[in-house]
Amino acid sequence: MAYPVTLIAGDGIGPEVAAAAQRAVDATGVKIEWHPVELSAAVMAKVGTELPENVLESIRRDKVALKGPVTTPIAGGFKSVNVSLRKKLDLFANVRPVKRLPGLKTRYMDLPIDMVIFRENTEDLYSGLEHEVVKDVAQSLKIITRYASIRIANYAFEYAKANHRHKVTAVHKANIMKLSDGLFLRCCREVAAQHPEVTYEEMIVDNASMQLVMRPETFDVLLLPNLYGDIVSDLAAGLVGGLGIVPGANMGEEIAVFEAVHGSAPDIAGRGLANPTALIASSVMMLRHLREVEAAERLQAAIERVYAEGKTLTGDVGGTASTEQFTDAVIAALA
């Protein structure tokens, strides 16, 4: 039986890294029936909406998607397709494992960095509720609900328990946003109290940023509202070698969309320079989700072997290989 998976190549470096991930997954021998759908800045302009119905239909039918990045116009234009997708499909948990890769030279290469970020994915300042109160005065509404906060906290604690993680750190700014972040924090405390076997701590987001840079090895599971989760994910990626390597998953009750943390990287798009590790590693998460655990472990081991050898790496992590050459090396390492 082949697993149906919607494939969204996206735009910018998306098509390059999506092709690489598709090849790597196929090379594991797991049978996937890929259903490619188009989603890009160009498609949005053509159809007049950020999220065409056929894309939603395909993901709802397949229940699993692998997605490349999609460009969002800055300070105007269409809404973020990523935010719309997560909201429309109720993909409430954004899960991002941040781990050091063997052999990869980074500023922090001597530290055992291994954390998982849980970012609430449907509300906060990403609710898209903005308006101009009067000329030159703009307002964005930050929405925090008990429902969404309890849901992401439950997800993070359940994950911690199932994966033998020992500590959850809730990150907030409840000293200033006493109502909204205060509610998020109260929900985290409530869920933490139901899981006494997992250590629970709280950290204000500015301090958390400093601690992540100074002592990244002390973090285990991070639990954050949407905006802080977005920012801290990129910061954490920087600790282990950059955006080219950190994978991610957007999880709903039934639907899962796997995508890297990085964006469409217009500065390097179309030149064969992009590092596909992040999306290939997102595919590893997808294979686990499909319960193809052996194939997932083989693919992860192949990525790690290529990094440990250090001969066929892309430019962002100090090598000279192209996207394709790196992917070929991973596929060769699978054997």
Establish if 278 lies at the interface with ligand NAI (CB under 6 A).
yes
* x-or-dash string of contact with ligand NAI, 13-32, rule CB under 6 A: x---x---------------
**Gap between the Cα atoms of 4 and 25, Å rounded:** 13
Helix (H, G, I), strand (E, B) or coil at 15: helix
Inter-CA distances, 31 with 62, 207, 314, Å: 14, 46, 28
26 among known catalytic residues: no
**Gap between the Cα atoms of 209 and 216, Å rounded:** 10
| Interface residue with ligand NAI, options 98, 243, 280, 333 (CB under 6 A) | 243
User: Among 317, 314, 322, 290, which residue's Cα sits nearest to residue 31?
Assistant: 290
| Interface residue with ligand NAI, options 72, 127, 218, 325 (CB under 6 A) | 72
Interface segment toward ligand NAI; rule CB under 6 A; list 45-53, 55-63, 250-258, 266-274: 266-274
| Interface residue with ligand NAI, options 28, 58, 82, 180 (CB under 6 A) | 82
Residues 216/239, Cβ–Cβ less than 8 Å: yes
Angle at 81 between CA 78 and CA 83, to 5 degrees: 110
Establish if 244 lies at the interface with ligand NAI (CB under 6 A).
yes
Site for ligand NAI in 190-229 (CB under 6 A): none
User: Among 68, 62, 56, 60, which residue's Cα sits nearest to residue 5?
Assistant: 62
Q: What's the closest the beta carbon of residue 264 comes to ligand NAI, in angstroms?
A: 4
CB count within 10 Å of CB 325 equals 14
Pick 28 or 233: Cβ nearer ligand NAI? 233
Q: Pick the catalytic residue: 11, 124, 230, 316? A: 230
**Gap between the Cα atoms of 210 and 96, Å rounded:** 19
228 among known catalytic residues: no
206 among known catalytic residues: yes
| Interface residue with ligand NAI, options 62, 123, 181, 259 (CB under 6 A) | 259
Q: Pick the catalytic residue: 105, 147, 178, 206? A: 206
**Gap between the Cα atoms of 196 and 116, Å rounded:** 19
**Gap between the Cα atoms of 313 and 99, Å rounded:** 17
Pick 58 or 314: Cβ nearer ligand NAI? 314
| Interface residue with ligand NAI, options 268, 306, 321, 330 (CB under 6 A) | 268
Pick 50 or 259: Cβ nearer ligand NAI? 259
Contacts with 158 (C-beta within 8 Å, 6 or more apart), sequence order: none
Q: What's the closest the beta carbon of residue 93 comes to ligand NAI, in angstroms?
A: 15
Q: Pick the catalytic residue: 126, 155, 228, 307? A: 126
User: Among 8, 21, 12, which residue's Cα sits nearest to residue 65?
Assistant: 8
11 among known catalytic residues: no
Q: Which residues contribute to the site for ligand NAI (CB under 6 A)?
A: 13, 17, 69-72, 82, 243-244, 259, 262-268, 274-275, 278, 316
Would you name the residues annotated as active-site residues? 126, 173, 206, 230
